[in-house]
Structure 1
Amino acid sequence: MTAVRAHPPLPRSLTRPPVELELIIPAFNEQRRLPSTITATLRYLAGRPWSSSVVVVDNNSVDGTLDALDRFTGTPTGLPATGLDVGFHVIGCGEQGKGAAVRRGIETSSARFIGFADADNATPIDTLDRVVELLRAGHGAVIASRHAPGAHLEVEQGTLRRGGGALFRTLAHLTLPEIADTQCGFKFFPGPLAREIVRDCRIDGFAFDVELLAHVVKAGRDVVEVPVEWTDKDGSTFSARRDGLRSMADLLRISLAR
């Protein structure tokens, strides 16, 4: 099981300038998939009526992930030829795991709204239109869902991943029985709430999403699921053998800790 440790707040000197919306993308060996996702995200955000930035949290990548991001750095936009005013930042996280990377991004944010998305762009980025509307309405968490009424799977996962996902959902429902999909990698929160509850999060791996949502509910806030048209993408760094058992054990820890 993952060791329990405290996560004290970071010094304010390490935080980024405030914007209305900050989108975190955790990245581990995402040289191939990340550039197209960043391009699509920056172009979308440039057309929105709210200030925003994209933060890639590199999680000890050993491929060319950082080299692939070079063309997006050096200007406020990340798109040198467009003049679009969207912030772009790359930070590091020495602790391994999606949860650790997302936590690092939240801790260093000063945005009004903060959230994270996967590097594969499986959830359409324009889902953020509805997400921001719901956040402004005062909801505690707004998450994309592949299993809420109205959702559609454009390309499904393979049989093994679907079977593992079904087992994961069954265990996650022990903690969050009202949430249909805890693992779709597209979740957003009011910034102050996210920065407060993340201090009590201990999971570094893929079960981090469940732990974070459990803290939202524990704080007396609601979770809204937005149905999406989701597409499975090749190249996931999730390993059923390496990460599956650990995730199941983390889920049991989360349930017992309630």
Structure 2
Amino acid sequence: MTTVLDRYFEIVNSADNGHAALEDLRDIFAENVLLMHSGEMVQGRELAVAFHQDQAAKWQESKHQWTASVDAANSITGKWTQAGLDLQGNGCSGIGHVSVSLDSDGLIAHLHLSLTGGSDQARVLIAKHLEVWMIPDAAERAKAMEGVYTEDIKLMEPEDVIAGRDVINDYISVVQRKAPPLSARLVSHFQNKEFIHWSWDFGFPGNKRALGSEVLHLKGDLIERVVIFSADSDVFTEGTR
């Protein structure tokens, strides 16, 4: 049986023949669809289509393979892989999990693709870092943090330093309650040995926007320190103190 998730990946794969093919995503996305993709997040059909067009523009060619399993009437889960060539002709790949929730019309209301592995390890770690901040349950989040941060992780904001997985976990709960982002976009990222520098663009309620960047200092495969740079820090820390 062909599912709407199968149709989604078929449309995404057709992007090699021109990004106009991605316009067909409008036929399967609900108007207010929530898209969570490799740590990034946007809401709304038009933004979700534009997001996929931006993603396709980063590849010379790529193909997805996937599995899809209908768990309930309005829920589909599976696994996905992507492989191809980037704009410089280098081979790239990624793997992850996918889950879909449908609305009463059978359209995709929530699409979540997690990135769990791939050829770009810096990008994978950024995705896991962002995913942690989107997990609503504190106990589930604490478990995920063990695979992303060292126990003595330090979060260095422009106005404050927060240290320790447990303390940061509590802080994330406050952020989710008082200053939840409505969108999260990765602009660029680079790695130099044990340092990753990446830039972001977050949207918040009230048409507020925050631009900035982070330096992630690694200890082995885990993040030991997050140093945040932004002239808009008041936007994403407002009400969290």
Taking structure 1 as the reference length, the TM-score comes to: 0.30
- Larger strand proportion, structure 1 or 2? 2
Bigger Rg, which one = 2
- Larger helix proportion, structure 1 or 2? 1
Higher RCO, 1 vs 2 (CA within 8 Å, ≥6 residues apart): 1
Taking structure 2 as the reference length, the TM-score comes to: 0.31
